[in-house]
Protein backbone atom coordinates (compact mmCIF):
# COMPACT_ATOMS: atom_id res chain seq x y z
CA UNK A 1 0.00 0.00 0.00
CA UNK A 2 1.48 3.36 -0.95
CA UNK A 3 1.72 6.00 1.76
CA UNK A 4 0.35 9.33 0.62
CA UNK A 5 -1.85 12.04 2.08
CA UNK A 6 -5.02 10.14 1.08
CA UNK A 7 -4.05 6.60 2.06
CA UNK A 8 -5.10 5.53 5.54
CA UNK A 9 -2.34 4.98 8.05
CA UNK A 10 -2.63 1.39 9.38
CA UNK A 11 -1.44 2.60 12.79
CA UNK A 12 -4.43 4.95 13.02
CA UNK A 13 -6.76 2.16 11.90
CA UNK A 14 -5.33 -0.15 14.57
CA UNK A 15 -5.75 2.53 17.25
CA UNK A 16 -9.42 2.88 16.40
CA UNK A 17 -9.86 -0.91 16.32
CA UNK A 18 -8.18 -1.28 19.73
CA UNK A 19 -10.33 1.45 21.27
CA UNK A 20 -13.57 -0.02 19.93
CA UNK A 21 -12.64 -3.60 20.88
CA UNK A 22 -11.93 -2.41 24.44
CA UNK A 23 -15.25 -0.52 24.60
CA UNK A 24 -17.12 -3.56 23.29
CA UNK A 25 -15.29 -5.77 25.79
CA UNK A 26 -16.36 -3.51 28.67
CA UNK A 27 -19.96 -3.54 27.43
CA UNK A 28 -19.93 -7.34 27.25
CA UNK A 29 -18.58 -7.70 30.78
CA UNK A 30 -20.54 -4.94 32.50
CA UNK A 31 -23.91 -5.24 30.79
CA UNK A 32 -24.28 -8.99 30.39
CA UNK A 33 -27.79 -9.77 31.66
CA UNK A 34 -27.86 -12.39 34.41
CA UNK A 35 -30.56 -14.25 32.50
CA UNK A 36 -28.85 -14.00 29.10
CA UNK A 37 -30.56 -16.27 26.61
CA UNK A 38 -30.40 -17.07 22.92
CA UNK A 39 -31.85 -14.28 20.76
CA UNK A 40 -31.56 -16.09 17.43
CA UNK A 41 -29.98 -19.06 15.69
CA UNK A 42 -28.13 -19.22 12.37
CA UNK A 43 -26.79 -22.27 10.52
CA UNK A 44 -28.09 -24.77 13.13
CA UNK A 45 -29.98 -24.69 16.46
CA UNK A 46 -26.63 -24.60 18.30
CA UNK A 47 -25.19 -21.76 16.15
CA UNK A 48 -26.47 -18.99 18.40
CA UNK A 49 -26.73 -15.22 18.62
CA UNK A 50 -27.34 -13.35 21.89
CA UNK A 51 -28.58 -9.83 22.32
CA UNK A 52 -25.04 -8.99 23.47
CA UNK A 53 -23.54 -10.09 20.11
CA UNK A 54 -25.92 -7.64 18.49
CA UNK A 55 -25.18 -4.81 20.93
CA UNK A 56 -21.42 -5.33 20.61
CA UNK A 57 -21.56 -5.25 16.80
CA UNK A 58 -23.73 -2.10 16.88
CA UNK A 59 -21.28 -0.32 19.19
CA UNK A 60 -18.31 -1.20 16.97
CA UNK A 61 -20.02 -0.37 13.66
CA UNK A 62 -21.33 2.97 14.94
CA UNK A 63 -17.87 3.79 16.32
CA UNK A 64 -16.22 3.09 12.96
CA UNK A 65 -18.75 4.95 10.86
CA UNK A 66 -18.68 7.98 13.17
CA UNK A 67 -15.00 8.43 12.29
CA UNK A 68 -14.77 6.76 8.88
CA UNK A 69 -18.16 6.95 7.12
CA UNK A 70 -16.79 5.80 3.75
CA UNK A 71 -15.34 2.49 4.97
CA UNK A 72 -16.79 -0.96 4.26
CA UNK A 73 -17.86 -3.30 7.03
CA UNK A 74 -18.36 -7.06 7.34
CA UNK A 75 -19.72 -8.17 10.70
CA UNK A 76 -20.78 -11.61 11.88
CA UNK A 77 -24.19 -10.43 12.98
CA UNK A 78 -25.23 -9.03 9.62
CA UNK A 79 -23.35 -5.79 8.95
CA UNK A 80 -22.27 -5.91 5.32
CA UNK A 81 -21.62 -2.91 3.15
CA UNK A 82 -18.94 -2.12 0.65
CA UNK A 83 -17.75 1.41 1.33
CA UNK A 84 -15.76 3.54 -1.08
CA UNK A 85 -12.49 4.19 0.75
CA UNK A 86 -10.73 0.85 0.11
CA UNK A 87 -10.81 0.12 3.86
CA UNK A 88 -12.96 -2.72 5.20
CA UNK A 89 -13.48 -3.72 8.83
CA UNK A 90 -14.07 -7.42 9.55
CA UNK A 91 -15.76 -7.80 12.92
CA UNK A 92 -16.63 -10.65 15.24
CA UNK A 93 -18.50 -8.92 18.08
CA UNK A 94 -18.20 -12.02 20.30
CA UNK A 95 -16.00 -14.85 19.10
CA UNK A 96 -16.86 -17.74 21.37
CA UNK A 97 -20.54 -16.92 21.86
CA UNK A 98 -21.30 -20.34 23.37
CA UNK A 99 -18.55 -19.77 25.95
CA UNK A 100 -19.99 -16.31 26.67
CA UNK A 101 -23.45 -17.82 27.15
CA UNK A 102 -22.10 -20.42 29.59
CA UNK A 103 -19.81 -17.91 31.35
CA UNK A 104 -16.66 -19.73 30.26
CA UNK A 105 -14.08 -16.92 30.07
CA UNK A 106 -12.66 -17.89 26.64
CA UNK A 107 -14.39 -15.40 24.37
CA UNK A 108 -13.32 -12.19 22.74
CA UNK A 109 -13.92 -9.33 20.36
CA UNK A 110 -12.08 -9.55 17.05
CA UNK A 111 -11.57 -6.69 14.59
CA UNK A 112 -9.42 -7.00 11.47
CA UNK A 113 -8.85 -4.07 9.10
CA UNK A 114 -8.27 -4.58 5.39
CA UNK A 115 -6.90 -2.02 2.95
CA UNK A 116 -7.46 -2.88 -0.71
CA UNK A 117 -8.30 -6.45 0.29
CA UNK A 118 -5.24 -7.12 2.46
CA UNK A 119 -5.48 -7.33 6.26
CA UNK A 120 -3.11 -4.68 7.61
CA UNK A 121 -4.14 -4.45 11.26
CA UNK A 122 -5.95 -6.57 13.80
CA UNK A 123 -6.96 -6.72 17.43
CA UNK A 124 -8.35 -9.58 19.50
CA UNK A 125 -9.55 -8.43 22.92
CA UNK A 126 -10.08 -11.14 25.57
CA UNK A 127 -11.65 -9.26 28.48
CA UNK A 128 -11.81 -12.07 31.06
CA UNK A 129 -8.12 -12.94 30.54
CA UNK A 130 -7.19 -9.23 30.43
CA UNK A 131 -5.36 -9.86 27.17
CA UNK A 132 -5.26 -7.57 24.14
CA UNK A 133 -3.54 -9.09 21.11
CA UNK A 134 -2.59 -6.71 18.29
CA UNK A 135 -0.66 -6.74 15.05
CA UNK A 136 0.22 -4.39 12.23
CA UNK A 137 1.37 -6.03 9.01
CA UNK A 138 5.16 -6.02 8.90
CA UNK A 139 5.52 -4.80 12.49
CA UNK A 140 5.14 -7.91 14.66
CA UNK A 141 2.51 -9.11 17.09
CA UNK A 142 1.91 -8.02 20.65
CA UNK A 143 0.05 -9.07 23.78
CA UNK A 144 -0.68 -6.15 26.11
CA UNK A 145 2.06 -4.24 24.32
CA UNK A 146 4.74 -6.97 24.70
CA UNK A 147 6.10 -8.63 21.56
CA UNK A 148 5.09 -12.30 21.20
CA UNK A 149 6.48 -15.19 19.17
CA UNK A 150 4.77 -18.36 17.97
CA UNK A 151 6.94 -20.81 19.87
CA UNK A 152 5.91 -22.56 23.07
CA UNK A 153 8.35 -22.75 25.97
CA UNK A 154 8.66 -26.48 25.15
CA UNK A 155 9.77 -25.83 21.58
CA UNK A 156 12.94 -23.90 22.53
CA UNK A 157 12.61 -21.97 19.29
CA UNK A 158 12.84 -25.14 17.18
CA UNK A 159 10.13 -26.86 15.12
CA UNK A 160 7.90 -28.96 17.40
CA UNK A 161 7.49 -32.56 16.21
CA UNK A 162 3.87 -33.69 15.87
CA UNK A 163 4.14 -36.09 18.79
CA UNK A 164 5.07 -33.20 21.12
CA UNK A 165 2.59 -30.70 19.73
CA UNK A 166 -0.40 -29.31 21.61
CA UNK A 167 -3.00 -28.68 18.94
CA UNK A 168 -6.10 -26.46 19.18
CA UNK A 169 -9.05 -27.11 16.93
CA UNK A 170 -12.72 -26.32 16.54
CA UNK A 171 -15.81 -28.03 15.23
CA UNK A 172 -18.59 -26.86 12.94
CA UNK A 173 -22.22 -26.48 13.91
CA UNK A 174 -23.64 -29.05 11.45
CA UNK A 175 -23.90 -32.63 12.74
CA UNK A 176 -22.65 -34.18 9.49
CA UNK A 177 -19.50 -32.03 9.45
CA UNK A 178 -18.89 -32.78 13.13
CA UNK A 179 -18.98 -36.51 12.49
CA UNK A 180 -16.13 -36.16 9.97
CA UNK A 181 -14.20 -33.77 12.23
CA UNK A 182 -14.58 -36.18 15.15
CA UNK A 183 -13.19 -39.09 13.12
CA UNK A 184 -10.17 -37.01 12.02
CA UNK A 185 -9.47 -35.87 15.59
CA UNK A 186 -9.76 -39.47 16.80
CA UNK A 187 -6.95 -40.38 14.41
CA UNK A 188 -4.86 -37.31 15.31
CA UNK A 189 -5.13 -37.73 19.09
CA UNK A 190 -2.66 -40.64 19.43
CA UNK A 191 -0.16 -38.77 17.20
CA UNK A 192 0.10 -35.50 19.19
CA UNK A 193 0.75 -34.36 22.77
CA UNK A 194 -2.93 -33.45 23.16
CA UNK A 195 -5.87 -31.58 21.68
CA UNK A 196 -7.59 -28.40 22.97
CA UNK A 197 -11.06 -27.19 21.96
CA UNK A 198 -11.16 -23.70 23.42
CA UNK A 199 -14.30 -22.42 21.67
CA UNK A 200 -12.95 -19.23 20.08
CA UNK A 201 -11.06 -19.44 16.80
CA UNK A 202 -9.68 -15.92 17.21
CA UNK A 203 -8.28 -16.82 20.63
CA UNK A 204 -6.92 -20.12 19.27
CA UNK A 205 -4.95 -18.17 16.64
CA UNK A 206 -3.67 -15.78 19.31
CA UNK A 207 -2.69 -18.81 21.41
CA UNK A 208 -0.57 -20.02 18.49
CA UNK A 209 0.87 -16.49 18.28
CA UNK A 210 2.02 -16.49 21.91
CA UNK A 211 3.08 -20.15 22.11
CA UNK A 212 0.22 -21.22 24.38
CA UNK A 213 -0.51 -23.96 21.88
CA UNK A 214 1.77 -25.22 19.12
CA UNK A 215 -0.76 -25.36 16.30
CA UNK A 216 -4.38 -24.88 15.29
CA UNK A 217 -6.59 -26.15 12.54
CA UNK A 218 -10.27 -25.81 11.79
CA UNK A 219 -12.66 -26.35 8.92
CA UNK A 220 -15.47 -23.80 8.77
CA UNK A 221 -13.96 -20.77 10.51
CA UNK A 222 -15.36 -17.63 8.87
CA UNK A 223 -13.62 -14.39 7.82
CA UNK A 224 -14.65 -12.63 11.05
CA UNK A 225 -13.24 -15.52 13.13
CA UNK A 226 -9.95 -15.41 11.22
CA UNK A 227 -9.21 -11.87 10.06
CA UNK A 228 -7.42 -10.36 13.07
CA UNK A 229 -6.15 -13.62 14.60
CA UNK A 230 -4.54 -14.84 11.36
CA UNK A 231 -2.56 -11.60 11.02
CA UNK A 232 -1.54 -11.78 14.68
CA UNK A 233 -0.34 -15.39 14.28
CA UNK A 234 1.57 -14.55 11.08
CA UNK A 235 3.18 -11.50 12.59
CA UNK A 236 4.27 -13.67 15.53
CA UNK A 237 6.12 -15.90 13.07
CA UNK A 238 3.56 -18.66 12.44
CA UNK A 239 2.51 -19.89 9.03
CA UNK A 240 -1.21 -19.57 8.35
CA UNK A 241 -2.79 -21.21 5.31
CA UNK A 242 -5.07 -23.87 3.92
CA UNK A 243 -4.37 -27.30 2.45
CA UNK A 244 -2.37 -27.94 -0.76
CA UNK A 245 -0.91 -24.43 -0.65
CA UNK A 246 -4.27 -22.63 -0.59
CA UNK A 247 -4.90 -19.53 1.49
CA UNK A 248 -6.62 -19.93 4.85
CA UNK A 249 -10.39 -19.92 4.44
CA UNK A 250 -13.51 -21.57 5.74
CA UNK A 251 -12.47 -24.64 3.69
CA UNK A 252 -9.58 -25.15 6.12
CA UNK A 253 -7.32 -22.99 8.23
CA UNK A 254 -4.04 -24.27 9.65
CA UNK A 255 -1.67 -22.22 11.81
CA UNK A 256 1.64 -23.31 13.31
CA UNK A 257 5.31 -22.49 13.23
CA UNK A 258 7.48 -23.76 10.39
CA UNK A 259 7.87 -27.54 10.34
CA UNK A 260 4.78 -28.33 12.37
CA UNK A 261 2.65 -26.40 9.85
CA UNK A 262 3.78 -28.73 7.06
CA UNK A 263 3.33 -31.84 9.23
CA UNK A 264 -0.19 -30.80 10.22
CA UNK A 265 -1.13 -29.97 6.62
CA UNK A 266 0.28 -33.35 5.51
CA UNK A 267 -1.83 -35.17 8.11
CA UNK A 268 -4.99 -33.23 7.14
CA UNK A 269 -4.38 -33.66 3.40
CA UNK A 270 -3.87 -37.38 3.98
CA UNK A 271 -7.30 -37.48 5.62
CA UNK A 272 -8.90 -35.31 2.93
CA UNK A 273 -10.03 -33.14 5.84
CA UNK A 274 -11.79 -30.44 3.79
CA UNK A 275 -14.88 -32.59 3.34
CA UNK A 276 -18.19 -33.04 5.10
CA UNK A 277 -18.95 -36.69 4.43
Instruction: Name the residues that contact ligand IPD, by CB under 6 A.
Output: 76, 92, 95-97, 170-171, 199-201, 218, 220-221, 225
Rounded to the nearest angstrom, the gap between the alpha carbon of residue 163 and the centroid of all alpha carbons in its chain is 25
Residue 94: CB minimum distance to ligand IPD, A: 6
Identity of the residue, 99 or 134, whose beta carbon is nearer to ligand IPD in the bound complex: 99
Q: Name the residue nearer to ligand IPD (CB basis): 83 or 171.
A: 171
Q: How far is the CB of 177 from ligand IPD (least distance, A)?
A: 10
Phi-psi category of residue 91: left, alpha or beta, with phi > 0 → left and psi -120 to 50 → alpha: beta
Q: Cα torsion at 95, 92, 231, 133 (round to 10°)? A: -60
The residue nearest ligand IPD at its CB is 170
| Least distance to ligand IPD, CB of residue 200, Å | 5
Q: How far is the CB of 20 from ligand IPD (least distance, A)?
A: 17
For the chain, the straight-line distance linking the first and the last C-alpha, in angstroms and rounded, comes to 42
Amino acid sequence: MSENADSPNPKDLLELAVRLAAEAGRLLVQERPRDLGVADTKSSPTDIVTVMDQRSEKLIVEGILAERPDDGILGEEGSDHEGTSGVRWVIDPIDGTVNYLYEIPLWGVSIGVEVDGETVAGVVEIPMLRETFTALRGHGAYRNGQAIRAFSAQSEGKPVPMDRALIATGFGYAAQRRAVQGAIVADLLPKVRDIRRGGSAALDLCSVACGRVDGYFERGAKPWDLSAGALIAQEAGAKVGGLHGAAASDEMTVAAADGLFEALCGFLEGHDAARDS
